[in-house]
Amino acid sequence: MSFKSFIGVSLLVGGSFARDVPSNIRNFYNNIKNNGRCNSPLASGFYSQYDDDNSFSYCGDHLEDSGVIFIQGSNGQFANMDIDCDGTQGGPADDGRCGNSDDTQSITSFADTVRGYGKGVDDLDAKIHPYVVFGNVGDKPGFTSFDPQAHGIEPLSIMAVVCGDKLIYGVWGDENGDDGEKSVVGEASISLATACFGKSMTGNNGHDENDVLYIAFTGGDAVPGRNGARWEARSYKEFESSIKGLGDRLIQRIQA
């Protein structure tokens, strides 16, 4: 994977805006990849895809020095990007690409919090809000669980996603349930996926390669809260721009 070296440069990609990967995040990505595996897993036994091995972990290697948790598999793998279309349906940015999804839920994990902000928004909209599905919740026999909140990650906190040559900011907006046969990781809203990989992303067509790095930040300072983001935005660009400043501050924590 190649990286550009300057932060803050915006470019039009598939109708959405992304930014180049800054040098500290580029080095962080490369060092983790070269290390090959997670040395301090917080929870292990997850799948990136159903036909992969279950070597993927929520990794705490840099929980103490950088205050972050990320997903990593064996042999330098990260995760793929499945597409999530959960939450508000038929909003102003709905272009029909979620229509073929066979796994859309009408609500996300933190809908009550979004509604409580009093911005006239009942839930996240996958076509507007770039959110990451992070954490695995369920008690089905054989299902592997992980609760990010037990390790300091707060609902609707900022997350950073490295995909290709791009850095995308999003929020922790949903969790993986135990409705499938396996505990999987690597999923994001269609707006985030489009910013990463373009409009070929649909409800049933994501990014299969295990090369996407998902980074979650601990602490209350990672949460934009009621007035730190435009929850009422009507486009991906409007929302993602509103969390850029906080994202830029948070990634300064990370030293490779």
Please tell me the distance from the alpha carbon of residue 46 to that of residue 155, in angstroms, as a whole number. Answer: 21
9: in domain: no
Q: What is the pLDDT of residue 1?
A: 36
pLDDT score of 103:
73
Q: Domain for residue 137, yes or no?
A: yes
Domain of residue 104 covers: 46-253
Considering the domain boundaries, does residue 34 fall inside one? no
pLDDT in tens, the chain (256 residues): 333 332 333 333 333 456 789 999 999 999 999 999 999 999 999 999 877 789 999 999 999 999 999 999 999 999 999 999 999 999 999 999 998 777 778 899 999 999 999 999 999 999 999 999 999 999 888 899 999 999 999 999 999 999 989 999 999 999 999 887 789 999 999 999 999 999 999 999 999 999 999 999 999 999 999 999 999 999 999 999 999 999 999 999 998 6
Task: Give the separation between CA 184 and CA 108, rounded to whole angstroms.
Answer: 17
HSE toward the beta carbon, residue 164, CA cutoff 13 A:
16
Amino acid at the residue 16: S
Quick one: pLDDT at residue 96?
A: 94
Q: Is residue 26 part of a domain?
A: no
Question: Taking the C-alpha atoms of 7, 60, 82 and 196 in order, what is their torsion angle to the nearest 10 degrees?
Answer: 0
List, in order, residues 6 or more apart from 108 with CB less than 8 Å away. Answer: 86, 87, 114, 123, 124, 131, 173, 174
pLDDT attached to residue 3 = 34
Task: Tell me, yes or no, whether 16 lies in a domain.
Answer: no
Give whole-number Cα distances, 84 to 64, 88, 120, in Å: 30, 12, 22
For residue 163, being part of any structural domain is answered with: yes
Q: What is residue 116's predicted lDDT score, i.e. its pLDDT? A: 98
Q: What DSSP string runs through 36-87? A: -S-SSEEEEEEBSSTTS-S-EEEE-TTHHHH-EEEEE-STT--EEEEEE--B
Q: How many domains does the chain have?
A: 1
**What's the pLDDT at 256?**
67
CB 98 within 8 A of CB 84: no
pLDDT of residue 16: 42
Q: Quick check: is 39 in a domain?
A: no
**Residue 2: inside a domain:** no
